[in-house]
Structure 1
Amino acid sequence: MDIGVPGESKAAGGTATGAARATARPAGRRKGRSVPAPVLNVIALVLGLAVWALLAWRGVGGLPGPLAVARRGGDLLRDGTLEGDMVASLRRVLIGFALGTALAVVVGFLMGWYPVVRGLCEPYIQFFRAVPPLALIPLAIVLMGIGETPKIFVIFLAAFLSSVVATLQGVVGVDRTLIDAARVLGARDRTIFLRVVIPASAPFILVGMRVGLGSAWATVVAAELIAAQEGLGFRMQHAETYYDLDTIFVGVIAIGVLGLVMDRLLLLAERRITRWQERR
């Protein structure tokens, strides 16, 4: 009888089991040591406030401290000024952003699906992408007046240019194998477009919308700096005249909070719409 082989097999099995456990333990420890993202966000916020308070305490650039800015924000909320400015800016951003992204999705799909449409539209899109929307604000005011129309128009343009390129890239980047497979199975163009192209390009569209949202907020503030009677940009410009740094900081924080909340909502929508997509 050969009694060496079972012993070797048992030893080999024990060694393999031990190696597997040794490999699993560090992975488990690494997973246990990972810090949740919300905790990291809170830590970053606390550190940012601490640095801000330290710079204000040292008198760097005449910065107001967090408590002074919070008191000024409370005053503006109590008299309704901050609420009115936030509503005015948010209304302009939502209208311009919704119109811009809606048209961008349609144009981007047409450009990606039909080469003729792409050849006709792409030169104009690339041209206007090279011109910052902020540079068109004076022209828009001259042509459209100082009402809401020019402000919404430049916001619309900023959101449109950011989203249309992302949509086009999403449609063009769809795996050709998926389209060919659908055709082999008897699917028509309408079915392929609805069941293959739109789902595959959805992540690109949502990323373009997030980029367009940032452009929309930057544009509305610039538009309100030039011609407005209300809005966060207008309030910051008015505060600059009197060197009211507290009010300027309140406006900056309000813009950042509104933009962050809208971006998180878009990110939540992206995760729900693209649940099929593998994530890290």
Structure 2
Amino acid sequence: MSLISDVETAEPKRRWRWDPGNVAWGVLSFAGGIGLWWLATVAGFSELPSPWTVLTRMIELGIDGQLWGDMYASLRRVLIGFALGAVLAVPVGFLMGWYRIARVIIDPWIQFFRVIPPLAIIPLAIVTLGIDEKPKTFVIFLAAFLSAVVSTYQGVVSVDKTYINAARVLGASDGTIFARVVIPASTPFILVGFRIGLGSAWATVVAAELIAAQSGLGFRMQQAQLYYDLPTIFVSLVAIGILGLLMDRIVVRTEERMTHWQERV
């Protein structure tokens, strides 16, 4: 048996395991936040609706089907825009990090659009693309793309040159080095970019729905604002938070499985 085989056998892969202690602390933290919210409303320190009022309104909207329709509309827009942005960001980031000429050509445009908030592009997208799903998808795509491409590029340029030089000494081709060294080493950076991109996508879709939409959680908050319907606004906020948290946890678990070789504290 080779030395490499011995090492791989002796070092078990890191996998996520159910930790009741972490779950308990998470539940306590959540319960504490709800408790503080309830105390603030009972003591009269805030005009916000109580947790029970929001829960009741959520059940009503869920039974009516309106909540599920809005969640589906917003989630669909986020997933489409984020997927398009992530799929394009990874190869562009690799290209910028691996080839200097590509970095010189593309990087100024990336930095130019990064300083322009995606929300500022929404009016232009509506005027040029119409009021259907295209402008919403485009601004979400742009927000996710800019976050992921910078992170991917940073992952490529951060690869230890010692590994690359060692692979060259052993006779590895550029393609082999890229596939066996650069891509694995860049994966943690890429997934961090995905997490940031998801947050940007949710912030952008809500803003887009506030301006031009007939469905979605952002649209529902705008309608509730007109009638000073605070419970409905809170229901939409809670729904966005839950969906965003679930998607973030999926990315985190994916990162742990794909980067089990990394040392973790």
Task: Give the TM-score normalised by the residue count of structure 2.
Answer: 0.92
Specify the alignment match of 1:123 in structure 2.
108
Q: 2:84 aligns with which of 99, 108, 124?
A: 99
Q: Which has the larger radius of gyration?
A: 1
Q: 1:218 aligns with which of 197, 203, 216?
A: 203
Q: Mapping of 1:1-280 within 5 angstroms? A: 36-280=21-265
Task: Give the TM-score normalised by the residue count of structure 1.
Answer: 0.87
Specify the alignment match of 1:11 in structure 2.
none
Q: Deviations over 1:62-108 (max 9, x none)?
A: 11011110000000000100000000000000000000011010100
Name structure 1 gaps, 5 residues minimum: 1-34
Distance 1:60 1:74 in 2: 26
Distance 2:215 2:71 in 1: 9
Name structure 2 gaps, 5 residues minimum: 1-19
Distance 1:182 1:167 in 2: 21
**Could you tell me how far 1:40 is from its partner in structure 2?**
1.4
Distance 1:61 1:111 in 2: 50
Greater shift, 58-67 or 243-252, is seen at 58-67
Q: Name the count of aligned residue pairs.
A: 247
Specify the alignment match of 2:16 in structure 1.
none
Distance 1:59 1:148 in 2: 42
**Which residue type is aligned with residue 89 of structure 2?**
A
Identity fraction in percent: 65
